[in-house]
Amino acid sequence: MNQTALMPDTSASTALKRRRAKAALANLFIGDALSMPVHWFYNPGDILRQFPPHGIQGMEAAPAVHPSSIMALHSTSRGGRGQQGPATRPDVVGDVILRGKRHLWGRPNGHYHHGMQAGENTLNAWWARWVMQSMTRHGDYNAERWVGEYIEKMTADPAEHPDTYAESCHRGFFANLLSGRARTDCGAVTHDTPSMGALVSVAPLALALLATQDLGSVQQQCRAHVWLTHPDEGLMKVVDSYVVLMAELLERPDGASCLEMLASAASVIPGTRLQALVHQPRGDAYVVGRTYSLACYITDSWPSVCYLAARYHDDPRKALSRNTNLGGENAHRGSVLGTLVGLGSGLFDTDLYGALAGQAELDGQLTQWLDRFYPESDESRG
């Protein structure tokens, strides 16, 4: 196990923030890819049976069979569950997005990420990557411009990502777009609109904006970004809390404790007592799986992420491994958890990072993003 940061900070705070920002985004992609093979495995025992004897310990390909899959129940013409196949063409899945992959949706126990290879990222992590690229190109955020880029990326043929599944938010957005709604008003409301997947693409946006803008402005732009695909007022409170937490972790003095910051962020979900959870003796599965559901709903998944970050903020590999093997909504939890433990520690595991598919290209894009928003000072170069 080889965990590394960039060179130790000895001068400007910019170098420390650059190290933390790189670790945050590196771990975002690691956390997603590590969990991809067992994404939405709701029985942790199934993970152990599929990947004996200790579950996922490194990058793995998606297995052929998914014991918890309900992909066959998810609508291919709109968000949420329902009939697969539209009354009239085109169908959202297969004709508009995920072209040529519609046939993979109706099979019992079909894997959500069918055929994906070890180290490949799911669609939502690619979404974050596209935001990172957009911010590097433009230097600022414009919702109208971004939604055009999102539509272009999602409808590209051939696809620019390897995934076979699109969350409810994506399907609902394109169903509304096909119905003639304005592209900035296509966010669909379903039972899972306030979900962890909404937060995955926020980090490369927020961290870029935090380099030059005040906190309130960054929160406003991040809310506008999330609202495009996840229009839910309660979720916006978590977005605000997430942005504050990223800002605090990014700016805090080296060596300062993260626990109070994480406890404050978690408390946006009423009744969450993070410090008590961190010190309970019954283990991680008591919190992530019993106290809080393994599902995507933000009222459970946000406290779960904050809990795991508080437990393992100084050990990203352990944090992301534990998250993966707890199961459920682990891929999107893993992306957000990765962001937090990266900011908290300034570390990422170079072995896992190097095992990401297309890592050299990703690393180049991440470096371009860093050079734009967190450029190295002359002192740190020397």
46-103 per-position pLDDT tens digit: 999 999 999 999 999 999 999 988 766 667 755 555 565 665 568 899 899 999 898 8
| Residue whose tokens read 């609508």 | 75
**pLDDT tens readout for residues 301-315:** 999 999 999 999 999
| Residue whose tokens read 């899945």 | 93
Give pLDDT, residue 135: 98
| Residue whose tokens read 């933000």 | 298
Give pLDDT, residue 77: 57
CB within 8 Å of 41: residues ≥ 6 apart: 47, 50, 66, 67, 68, 327, 328, 330
Q: Kindly report the pTM of this predicted structure.
A: 0.94
- The C-alpha atoms of residue 3 and residue 128 are separated, in whole angstroms, by 23
CB within 8 Å of 131: residues ≥ 6 apart: 146, 201, 204, 205, 225
- The C-alpha atoms of residue 364 and residue 375 are separated, in whole angstroms, by 14
- % of residues, the chain, pLDDT over 70: 91
SS3 47: helix
